[in-house]
């Protein structure tokens, strides 16, 4: 795909280098069109080296090629990341005083804008009105993240991570290409922000913990990385996302997009209650949390003390099957995805255990990974198999074997969900 990446003059311009690299890794041709101010943060040689294309900001450069029209005409996707308040205002007003804004006006390709600015600028009524205008015209706007800004400031306005920008933009391109219409007019341009646009998605992530006493707990080794990646991918595909978060690695929640609602939980019973509530209005449920199957029969009021060299016996009771309960109570048209971490033994392989679980649970898809020999928990790369129902009631087929980073896998799982869901009217 021929992609134009516009870069406006903000401190977040450095992240555009990673956007270029990721797009090139995926096989796309990238032409970078920075503003003059953007070059004060990142030099043209950097953009040229990463993109393999010449870089200019001036409409009078290479006049014989008519760049101010040609670049927009040739684009199949135009991304502005970062988009400052100033650049957003220019686009909303239809100005064309540099090569970037001229390209925006002449393109008929999907336009993706990733704002980055201080919180006060993002909340300013002028910016709010400009963003509303862009969305009304069919421009895909990725809300900024919440986090550390320039200097001591923190809040909404941070540019999302490059992986999220790329996922959002490619989803917009897949669902939002147009054959006719002038840039910014919205003519024949879909208002879908991605393959799950308008859907309500609830994702569970992390590992539940079952208290033994005020100090200790039973838990598992889940980092929560895969579930959080799924929440980001669903959000990038246009869904309204609620993340039900058990214990996750420190810092993962801080980098979530501002539009994702987070419900923290601790135990499996907490998870069951939170998921049941969220499921009442969800179109899609993704159960990626690592659930503790057992909990102590009794919770000690005080810390359990050692007694000499003797050991300790703890009676455990079985926790409810959260996924099976969600399947049993599902609403018409609701799509449910389960996750399974399995290991094999002398009797059966991990894959066979996963297939048996899929038949037993009744979800639409089961995403299974073999966690033997420390193959999944905590790592940034993974390999999974998606199990889906075959033609017969008891048949199981492999829909796909996916490998890569957890963000890559999450994007592919979300794409598989989008491919399989039956269109239903989303809850208003």
Burial class (CB in 10 A: 0-12, 13-18, 19+), 24: middle
Using CA atoms, how far apart are residues 289 and 99, in angstroms rounded to an integer? 47
Using CA atoms, how far apart are residues 232 and 255, in angstroms rounded to an integer? 10
Question: 138 Cβ partners below 8 Å, 6+ apart?
Answer: 111, 176, 186, 189, 190, 191
Using CA atoms, how far apart are residues 105 and 4, in angstroms rounded to an integer? 13
Residue 81 near residue 9 (C-beta atoms within 8 A):
no
Using CA atoms, how far apart are residues 164 and 172, in angstroms rounded to an integer? 12
State whether residue 81 is helix, strand or coil. Answer: strand
Q: How far is CA 422 from CA 168, 317, 400, 417, in A?
A: 22, 38, 19, 10
User: Catalytic residues, which ones?
Assistant: 220
What Rg value do the Cα atoms of the chain yield, rounded?
Answer: 24
Closest CA relative to residue 283, chosen from 177, 163, 195: 195
Per-position DSSP letters for 243-283, written without gaps between them: EEE-B--TTTGGGSBTT-EEEE--SHHHHHHHHHHHHTT-S
Using CA atoms, how far apart are residues 333 and 189, in angstroms rounded to an integer? 28
Q: Which residues pair with 285 in a beta bridge?
A: 202, 336
Using CA atoms, how far apart are residues 120 and 259, in angstroms rounded to an integer? 17
State whether residue 200 is helix, strand or coil. Answer: strand
Using CA atoms, how far apart are residues 180 and 190, in angstroms rounded to an integer? 12
Q: Which residues pair with 207 in a beta bridge?
A: 247, 290
User: What tokens does 204 get?
Assistant: 């569970």
Map tokens 């939002």 to a residue.
Answer: 176
Map tokens 């135990």 to a residue.
Answer: 267
């Amino acid at each position: 795909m021929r992609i134009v990446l516009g870069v406006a003059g903000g401190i977040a311009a450095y992240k555009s280098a990673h956007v270029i690299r990721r797009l090139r890794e995926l096989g796309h041709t990238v032409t970078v069109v920075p503003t003059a101010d953007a070059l004060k943060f990142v030099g043209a040689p950097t953009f040229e080296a990463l993109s393999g294309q010449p870089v200019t900001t001036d409409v009078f450069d290479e006049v014989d090629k008519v760049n101010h029209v040609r670049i927009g005409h040739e684009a199949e996707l135009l991304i502005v990341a970062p988009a400052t308040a100033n650049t957003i205002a220019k686009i909303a007003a239809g100005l064309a005083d540099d090569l970037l804004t001229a390209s925006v006006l002449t393109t008929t390709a999907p336009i993706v804008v990733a704002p980055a600015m201080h919180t006060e600028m993002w909340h300013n009524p002028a910016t709010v009105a400009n963003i509303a205008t862009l969305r009304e015209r069919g421009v895909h706007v990725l809300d900024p993240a919440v986090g550390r800004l320039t200097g001591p400031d923190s809040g909404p306005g941070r540019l999302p991570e490059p992986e999220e920008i790329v996922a959002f933009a490619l989803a917009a391109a897949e669902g939002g290409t147009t054959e006719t219409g002038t840039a910014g007019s919205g003519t024949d341009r879909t208002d879908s922000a991605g393959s799950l646009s308008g859907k309500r998605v609830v994702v569970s992530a992390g590992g539940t913990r079952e208290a033994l006493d005020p100090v200790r707990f039973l838990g598992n080794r889940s980092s929560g990385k895969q579930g959080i990646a799924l929440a980001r991918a669903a959000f990038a595909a246009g869904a309204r996302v609620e993340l039900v978060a058990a214990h996750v690695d420190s810092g993962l929640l801080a980098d979530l997009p501002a539009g994702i609602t987070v419900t923290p939980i601790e135990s499996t019973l907490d998870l069951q209650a939170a998921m049941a509530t969220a499921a009442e209005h969800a179109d899609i449920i993704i159960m990626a949390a690592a659930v503790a199957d057992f909990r102590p029969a009794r919770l000690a009021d005080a810390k359990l003390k050692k007694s000499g060299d003797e050991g300790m016996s703890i009676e455990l009771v079985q926790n409810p099957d959260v996924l099976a309960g969600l399947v049993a109570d599902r609403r018409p048209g609701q799509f449910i995805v389960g996750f399974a971490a399995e290991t094999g033994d002398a009797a059966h392989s991990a894959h066979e255990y996963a297939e048996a679980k899929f038949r037993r649970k009744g979800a639409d898809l089961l995403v299974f990974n073999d966690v033997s020999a420390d193959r999944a928990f905590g790592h940034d790369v993974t390999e999974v198999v998606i199990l889906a129902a075959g033609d017969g009631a008891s048949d199981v087929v492999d829909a796909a074997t996916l490998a890569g980073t957890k963000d890559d896998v999450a994007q592919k799982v979300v794409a598989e969900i989008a491919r399989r869901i039956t269109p239903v009217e989303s809850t208003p």
